[in-house]
Amino acid sequence: MVELNQLLLEFEAHLNADAVTEEWKEPRDSWMSEVSAAIDEKRLAKLLVELEANFQQQAVQSYWKMLRQSWVQECHLASTIEEVSSLLLELESNTTWEVMTDEWQQNREKWVQQMYQFIE
């Protein structure tokens, strides 16, 4: 599970400052500590929702607002590493390139491959 925590932190670290709300700056450090320390999937899914809740509207594809409610519900129900991995992948795949760092484009393929290790 520690590896999934690191992959979530890596995704968040590659978000540009304009991807998230101004309010995200204050809880970010404690959120990162909580992600690092999370030992159960339900907690990690809750932290994933916290991150997404601080996304700016332009950070996600326009159709995300139609998917978001069911995605959040799935996060609240998630109890396995496979489910949390799938939900993180879904969020990442709906995040626009414009709000990701340039390095993300080079790192993404490896990151996705690592994510799929939890699902297969």
Task: For 77-114, write each residue's pLDDT tens digit.
Answer: 999 999 999 999 999 999 999 999 999 999 999 999 99
Dist. CA 82–CA 103, nearest whole Å:
26
Average pLDDT over residues 47-64: 96
> What are the C-alpha distances in Å from 4 to residues 21, 25, 65, 84?
24, 23, 25, 9
* Domain ranges (residues) in the chain: 2-119
Tens of pLDDT, residue by residue over 58-75, are 999 999 999 999 999 999
Calculate the average pLDDT of the chain.
95
Check pLDDT > 90 for residue 7. yes
pTM: 0.95
